[in-house]
Amino acid sequence: MKNVIRVALVDPSDVSRNALKTLLLGIDSVWLEAECSRYEVFKDVLQQSQPDIALVTLDANPQRALELVGAIHQELPACQILVLSSSQEGSLILQAVRLGAKEFLPSPLKLEEFLGALERIRQIVNKSGGADGPVRTSQIISVAGVSGGIGCTSLAINLGCCFAQHPGRSVAIIDLDLALGDADVWLDIIPDYTIQDVADNITRLDYSLLKRSLTKHDCGAFLLPRPIEMEDLPPIGPDEMRRVISLLKATFSHLVIDLSKSFNQLDQAAMEVSDVILVVTQLDLPSLRNAVRLLQYFKRRTGLYEKVKVVINRMGLDDNAISLSKALDTLGHAIYAEIPNEYSTMVEARNNGVPLITQSPKSRLTKSINQLALSIDAPPVVDVKVDDRKVGANKKGLFSFLGAGGR
């Protein structure tokens, strides 16, 4: 269970304890290890179950609950403590924090507030390692094409499907091209629900409703597609988009977002919360020109440029294409990965509505996208110098699978 946070809960109130159980059981990345109705025996429960988080409600007996918090902190220091109370009195919060609580949240607990606390505590558990080892945090990858037809959607779909093949990974793909997105076509999916359903229910959106809006592909990846009708452009704003992503982060190890080409407010919100922004371009003049414009756009927005990884798609498409060396000079940015041109392989996969890992698992194209997925999961990329120019390279050799002819 290395991909979940294990929680033990204590609450003498049957009503509030059952409500908390319902919330916790609806989050796939949370494992409810134990529940307890008595403060007196909860420490023994923790010693037996060794959870990552002890969730302690204070309202039944604040003084007794605070004593319990202090005892847990002293005797089980590896267990992170999260307390809940309907009281927001400053002295109560201060006591809880001084006694060892990592988070103090209002009761009844709201999903978004719990997910935020969970992510902060997850970072602590990740560093120290829980009983089952470090917990993997969710990664958000936005895929930004420099123009239409650049291969942005094909890369996003197949990257997500590659992630889904790796042990312990769970993947959701979001199609943010709300007008002309075709992610569902690539996976031959006729969805029952779309992002329109999410938009229509945004005021009462919870995890269970959001999960019903996803369609699962045979490869294991889930898809949140664009609206069925063009008239149904959803009245969803950037704040709502961030909320959708936050809910998905709670249960999926990877979110792959296929951005639109308009770079509107929804795209902006997605990129702001992303860990990686893949800028997809080709080695032709219009593409590189747009890539430069896009990189300049990212530089003007705080926190975006540092996330950028440039991907050259359809490498070898044209013998007269601009050289990689010239592209480096033009972009002024390291090239993170090169995806070889195998047009017939990609078209066959698209027309059959199956991912490359199913259609052509041994092709160089499939291997390159799978290697890209592995490299995003791997330790950070380091810079090496080639002819006095910096080129991004993974310590394990990101381009090694291409061989000498790959360049």
Query: If you average pLDDT over residues 144-166, what whole number do you get?
Result: 95
The pLDDT score that the predictor gives to residue 395 is 41
Angstrom distance (rounded) from CA 379 to CA 307 = 14
- With residue 148 as reference, give the H or E element that holds it: none
Query: Considering only CA atoms, which of 17, 16, 61 is closest in space to residue 36?
Result: 17
The answer to whether residue 285 scores a pLDDT higher than 90 is yes
Q: Is the pLDDT of residue 26 over 60?
A: yes
Question: What CATH code is carried by the domain that includes residue 29?
Answer: 3.40.50.2300
Q: Which residues pair with 335 in a beta bridge?
A: 310
CATH number at residue 226: 3.40.50.300
What is the model's pLDDT at position 292?
A: 97
Lowest-confidence segment of 170-184, 192-206, 256-270 by average pLDDT: 192-206
What 3-state DSSP class applies to 96?
helix
**What is the average per-residue pLDDT within 101-106?**
94
Q: Which residue, 254, 139, 266, is CA-closest to 202?
A: 266
Give the confidence band of 298 by pLDDT, cuts at 50, 70, 90: very high
Residue of higher predicted confidence among 155 and 196: 155
Task: Please indicate, yes or no, whether residues 35 and 145 belong to a single structural domain of this protein.
Answer: no
Which of 128, 154, 173 is where one domain is finished?
128
CB 161 within 8 A of CB 219: yes
DSSP structural state of residue 276: E
Rounded Cα–Cα distance for residues 175 and 260 (Å):
8
Q: Does 36 share its domain with 107?
A: yes
Structural domain boundaries enclosing 39? 5-128
User: pLDDT higher for 69 or 31?
Assistant: 69
Task: Give pLDDT, residue 120.
Answer: 83
Q: Is the pLDDT higher at 256 or at 116?
A: 256
Residue 382 binned pLDDT confidence (cut-offs 50, 70, 90):
very low
Is the overall model pTM greater than 0.85, yes or no? no
Per-residue pLDDT at 157: 97
Q: Is the pLDDT score of 135 beyond 50?
A: no
Strand order, beta sheet including 254-258:
215-216, 222-224, 171-175, 254-258, 139-145, 276-281, 308-315, 335-340
Spatial distance between the Cα atoms of 18 and 30, rounded to a whole number of angstroms? 16
